Amino acid sequence: MTYPMSIFMGFLQGVAEFLPISSSGHLALFQSFFGMENLEETQMLFTVLLHFGTLISVFVVYWRDILEMIQEFFRGIAALAKGKDGGTPPPPARRMVLMIIIATLPLFVVLLVKDKVDALFGNTYFVSCALLATGFLLFFSDRIARGRKTAKTATLADAVLVGCAQAVATLPGLSRSGSTISAGLLRGFDRKFAVRFSFLMSLPAIIGANILELKDAVELGIPTEQLPVYLVGVAVAAVVGYFAIRLVNLLADKGKFGKFAYYCWAVGLGSLIAGIIRATLLT
């Protein structure tokens, strides 16, 4: 791993993780067309660290929300332990914690078919078609009427449906942020709240998955001589991710979220044609 490659991968991670263009789809196509299918195996630690870099972006942008939710989480446990419900509606931050927990549950169903989902990463036709589908999803998301639901008024049913969208978006080529934000808009979420909920609900899933992957990466050995190179990529991913989150918030609020549809269509169609041409030449 060289510094230019580390910077490039950090930039790609920061952009694709938060913009609704599917980071998994881009990674799958990048590995397939550039002959880097073993990238995650040989550079597993680097891959994990890049994800932690984008997590830093979420914590920086939403640190007030995260701090408030942590405080309300423990206050809620204390209230339950003391039996003090009082019949009063819980604070929005406490409701947000419950909604995120509920929205994370559908991901456990994905674990039952994880091998089949992982196998799709090598299918460029599927990934290309999924990117095209993401484009249509984003295109129509701008045409959804503005909702007003926030953490005060959103329901657990809303959380379940947005969580199901996140589970489906584990398929390569389907954008997680695009799917969850669009699902939130369909459920009548305020546009800013849809974006905020999408990124905050990603934290448990990403942290849990990367802790497990970190264990495997450490077992493969830590290339200490490569750590400075890795950390440069992490820093790039964090900085680029920060601005990517800000951009998504801005475009979603202005109803221009669907602008990314044209990019997804271009990449999906281009990779589909490239895949057909490559298959024809190899036969």
Q: pLDDT tens digits, the chain, 283 residues: what are they?
A: 788 888 988 898 888 888 998 887 887 887 777 765 555 544 667 777 888 888 999 999 999 999 999 999 998 888 888 776 556 778 889 999 999 999 999 998 988 898 898 888 888 999 999 999 999 999 988 888 788 999 999 999 999 999 999 999 989 899 999 999 999 999 999 988 999 999 999 888 888 877 777 776 666 666 677 778 888 999 999 999 999 999 988 888 787 878 899 999 999 999 999 989 888 887 6
- pTM comes to 0.88
167: left (phi over 0), alpha (psi -120 to 50) or beta: alpha
In which domain, by residue range, is 246 found?
Answer: 3-282
- CA 241 – CA 61 distance, rounded (Å): 10
Task: Indicate the number of domains in the chain.
Answer: 1
Number of helical (H) and strand (E) elements in the chain, helices listed first? 14, 0
